[in-house]
Amino acid sequence: MSLRRYNPYYRWLFPWLLDRVSAAVADERRDLLAQAQGVVLEIGAGTGSSFHCYSAAVDTLIALEPDVSVMRLARQQLGKMSLTTQVKTKLLLADAESIPLADNSVDTLVSFLVLCSVPQPQHALAEMHRVLKADGQLLFFEHVLADDPKVQRWQHRLNPFWHRCAGGCQLNRETAELIQQAGFSLQYYERYQHHSFPRLVGQLISGVATKASVTPEGRLVNEDADYDSG
């Protein structure tokens, strides 16, 4: 990660590309993040595209981002927002695989187009589960392995190249399954093809998850969920 600081692609072009992608999903971001409240931890906050979506129901936003160059833009983004529209925000230079926060300290977790890029998403999700309060919620929006087998084949073929050029992003993750395996229960779940994204990254999942209940024997119980796999 540290060598990226000196690579012009990651220093200038990649943050710029992130902003362009963000613009395409502005409505989805606004609708999902309107549900955030209390102490919010946004992992992989990027250039701060979410900052303006948080309402007064948010006490504190902790914007975690491991990339210094990207965080520089997030700081600029905060500076551009007027004090009246700003939620109290702390920028946290850290990795989602090792979150420097106490257990059960967060009301809302946000992962918006991040779990595709985290090297070991299972580790990040375990950490997210640890810091989330028992009655907290995870808001997620991610691109995943396509439903269409033809697109899947291209995702598998191109992934080794894509991964190197797109900041570690993986085209073919099954993120909804990873979220559930980490001990979350999907309360609301949508799965759809985005009309303006290329098909390689156009299969999206979005939803709200909570900590799954655990039986006395330690088994996870998946509660009833409002599924729309549309």
Ligand X SMILES: C[S@@+](CC[C@H](N)C(=O)[O-])C[C@H]1O[C@@H](n2cnc3c(N)ncnc32)[C@H](O)[C@@H]1O
DSSP H/E element including 153: helix 149-165
Our separate counts of H helices and E strands in the chain read: 7, 10
Q: Does 112 bind ligand X (CB under 6 A)?
A: yes
Rounded least distance, CB 224 to ligand X, Å: 29
Shortest CB 185 distance to ligand X, Å: 23
For residue 182, give both structure tokens.
């980490």
CB count within 10 Å of CB 36 equals 24
Q: What x/- string results for residues 27 through 66 when contact with ligand X is judged by CB under 6 A? A: ----------------xxxx--x--------------xxx
Cβ-contact 142, 204 below 8 angstroms: yes
- What residue has token string 């990795």? 95
Task: Supply the minimum distance, in Å, between the C-beta of residue 96 and ligand X.
Answer: 3
* Bridge pairing between strands 89-93 and 106-112: unpaired
Q: Which is nearer to ligand X, 43 or 125 (CB)?
A: 43
Q: What is the chain's percent helix, strand, coil content, to nearest 5?
A: 40, 30, 35
| Residue 105 main-chain phi, psi, to 5 deg | -115, 0
Nearest residue to ligand X by CB is 46
Question: Which one, 185 or 201, has the nearer CB to ligand X?
Answer: 201
Distances (CA, A) of 145 to 57, 151, 156, 205, 215: 34, 8, 9, 10, 31
The yes or no reply on residue 69 touching ligand X (CB under 6 A) is no
Out of 32, 36, 62, 67, name the contact with ligand X by CB under 6 A: 67
Q: Minimum Å distance from CB 112 to ligand X?
A: 4
Tell me which residues in 190-209 interact with ligand X (CB under 6 A). Answer: none
* Structural element, H or E, at residue 90: strand 89-93
Number of residues located near ligand X, criterion CB under 6 A: 23
In the complex, least distance from residue 37 CB atom to ligand X, rounded to whole angstroms:
19
* 22 contacts ligand X (rule: CB under 6 A): yes
- Give residues in contact with ligand X (CB under 6 A): 18, 22, 43-46, 49, 64-67, 70, 95-97, 112-114, 117-119, 167-168
